[in-house]
Amino acid sequence: MTIVDVLEKNARLYPNEEALVEINPANQPSKTTTWREYNLIETAEGDKYRRTMTWKDFDRQANRCANLLLTRGIKKGDKIAILLMNCLEWLPIYFGILKCGALAVPMNYRYTADEIKYCLDLSDATMLIYGPEFIDRVAQVKDQLIGIKNFFFVGDEVPEGADSYSVYSTYCTSTAPPVIITEDDDAAIYFSSGTTGFPKAILHAHRALISSCETEQKHHSQTKDDVFLCIPPLYHTGAKMHWFGSLLSASKAVILRGVSPEWIMQAVSEEKATIVWLLVPWAQDILDAIDRGDIDPAEYRLSQWRLMHIGAQPVPPSLIKRWKERFPHHEYDTNYGLSESIGPGCVHLGVENIHKVGAIGIAGYHWETAIIRPDGTPVERGEVGELAVKGPGVMKCYYKNPEATAEILHDGWLWTGDMAKEDSDGFIFLVDRKKDVIISGGENLYPVQIEDYLRANDKIKDVAVIGLPHERLGEIAAAIIELKEGLTATEEEINEFCAELPRYKRPRKIIFATVPRNPTGKIEKPRLREIYCGGVTLVESQITK
């Protein structure tokens, strides 16, 4: 079975039930008009505030997409790139690519023109399907994209050199194409976060996609009555693979275009969302907005919201404590994964293990875990080592990069590059990325541990700890601290707050600044190193004592 089979099954069993809803808060005309009332109202540009798609229409649109691609000579095994913001068309296009036997190649919407070209070339894509937000970037490199034979544009004002996706797909039949797909066939190429340079291309088979459906549904018990609020970008494995639980249970998903505490709460309320996956900054923003009085939870319909889960980054225990104080009836889970392991789920906490907040959890459904030394042998329980995972969602390879593949794939095990340890109950605690470990005076410092400590400070909104070069100690820990809106703090206050940390773990330099994060919520530490290291080696007189 493949995820294409699951979509077709849902279309047969529940043809007229809502599968997807797109909410675009930017098009809401006024706060006096409810979202339901706005369902049939159009703005001057013709965009609807709330667009919907049934399971039958979802499948028919995917079939039209597949048949359109076949008319353009696309063959089984070809690669089709998707460069779209979250929208109602995204998932039908993704499934249409799979239905014709091609590989879907989702692309980060923050890519520069050069990165777009790099990823299209690396993946051997022969077609690009893109939206209006990317016209200028694509135009900059269009003449250099010699591998791209067809450009399809999703939008009204079609740029020169591209064809209208909506016009051409409308003329294609909505019956399923005669293409046989198996679990062993290649399905998609995803790109690594690119935090260490240009991203790597990650090749996954259909088997990985269907296993992700099963893992997600097992972990979060989605039923047909659930409603999943999807906020993160669909190009990323995190958002889509969490939605896969909705696909398997034939339950509705709501795609929210834009992020703000008010929009999230309103979407939960009006669409009766039961499951919401948040990134750490979004959860913090919601709590801060409530604390400031900008949002009153009593004004929203929230009683049906049963699960809040977080992934993509370490989760501060202090954040979950605050969340449970505000929303005591919520189940909570955290999910760990990589694009190389088909996204979240290879490790998860489990809603029944709230007493273990701070851990990333235990091996996920169908997964195995190990904490290993550099030679691959297991460490003793309680010791820090590299986390390795094994399961049906492990990538086939880094596409066209056997050297990088050999570095992290070993006899079916994926070496994650994350340092972790296991407690006496078998729960895994993430310590830090291997490459982010700071070695100061011979001591290993794990930034995540220092960051978690600092986030307990009521004035701190976000924090990132990086290593700065030091002439005597090799490196020192520097804390880049983003304060909550309207609050101030001094270096002396932060140093006093850190007094209970072991001396070697205390940050030696305090910097008050914004903490940059990528679209999946991960702190952009290479960017911070570029800003604050700059090839400068500090001496004792330049650091906080």
Distance of CA 531 to the CA centre of its chain: 25
Token reading at 196 = 């260490």
Q: Write out the H or E segment, with its range, that includes residue 98.
A: helix 90-99
Closest CA to 358 of 275, 434, 451: 451
Cα 483 from Cα 457, distance rounded (Å): 10
Token reading at 174 = 């909505």
Cα 323 from Cα 317, distance rounded (Å): 10
CATH number at residue 153: 3.40.50.12780
Cα 126 from Cα 147, distance rounded (Å): 5
Token reading at 460 = 């701190």
**How open is the CA angle 134-98-71, to the nearest 5 degrees?**
80
456, part of any domain: yes
- Cβ–Cβ < 8 Å for 231, 265: no
Q: Are residues 380 and 444 in the same domain?
A: no
Q: Are residues 517 and 534 in the same domain?
A: yes
Non-local (6+) Cβ contacts of 192 within 8 A are 199, 200, 202, 339, 340
List the beta strands (DSSP E) in 325-447: 331-338, 343-348, 362-363, 368-372, 385-390, 397-398, 409-410, 413-422, 428-433, 438-440, 443-445
Q: Are residues 463 and 411 in the same domain?
A: no
Q: Are residues 483 and 422 in the same domain?
A: no
CATH number at residue 365: 2.30.38.10
pLDDT values of the chain reduced to their tens digit, one per residue, 545 residues? 999 999 999 999 999 999 999 999 887 765 544 444 444 444 334 457 899 999 999 999 999 999 999 999 999 999 999 999 999 999 999 999 999 999 999 998 888 898 899 999 999 999 999 999 999 999 999 999 999 999 999 998 999 999 999 999 999 999 999 999 999 999 999 998 654 457 899 999 999 999 999 999 999 999 999 999 999 889 988 888 899 999 999 999 999 998 899 999 999 999 999 999 988 778 988 999 999 999 999 999 999 999 999 876 667 788 899 999 999 999 999 988 889 999 888 999 999 998 998 899 999 999 999 999 999 999 999 998 999 999 999 999 999 999 999 999 999 999 998 889 999 999 999 876 667 778 776 567 878 888 888 988 989 999 999 888 876 677 888 999 999 988 999 999 999 999 888 787 889 999 999 998 876 667 888 788 888 876 555 545 455 54
Q: Are residues 115 and 165 in the same domain?
A: yes
Among residues 223, 239, 258, the one where a domain terminates is 258
157, part of any domain: yes
pLDDT per position as a tens digit, 264-303: 999 999 999 999 998 877 898 899 999 999 999 999 999 9
Number of C-beta neighbours around residue 100 at 10 A: 25
Domain count, the chain: 3
Torsion 42-43-47-50 (CA) sign: negative
Number of C-beta neighbours around residue 193 at 10 A: 17
Share in percent of the chain as helix, strand, coil (round to 5): 35, 25, 40
Q: Are residues 342 and 450 in the same domain?
A: no
266, part of any domain: no
Residue 366 region by backbone torsions, left for phi larger than 0, else alpha for psi between -120 and 50, else beta: left
Non-local (6+) Cβ contacts of 536 within 8 A are 468, 469
Closest CA to 529 of 469, 442, 453: 469
Among residues 412, 433, 454, the one where a domain terminates is 433
Phi, psi angles (nearest 5°) of residue 11? -65, -35
271, part of any domain: no
Q: Are residues 375 and 499 in the same domain?
A: no
| DSSP code for 355 | G
User: What one-letter code names the amino acid at 328?
Assistant: P
Q: Write out the H or E segment, with its range, that includes residue 479.
A: strand 474-483
Distance of CA 468 to the CA centre of its chain: 29
263, part of any domain: no
pLDDT per position as a tens digit, 408-445: 999 999 999 888 999 999 999 987 666 777 877 656 78
Non-local (6+) Cβ contacts of 190 within 8 A are 106, 201, 202, 204, 236, 237, 339
- Cβ–Cβ < 8 Å for 96, 143: no
**How open is the CA angle 306-312-315, to the nearest 5 degrees?**
70
Among residues 406, 433, 460, the one where a domain terminates is 433
Cα 169 from Cα 44, distance rounded (Å): 25
| DSSP code for 237 | H
Token reading at 123 = 């993946």
**Range of the structural domain that residue 404 is part of:** 307-433
Token reading at 84 = 């779209």
Please give the model's pTM, rounded to 2 decimal places: 0.82
Longest Cα separation, the chain: 73
Token reading at 260 = 């703000």
In total, the chain counts a number of residues equal to 545
Q: Are residues 368 and 465 in the same domain?
A: no
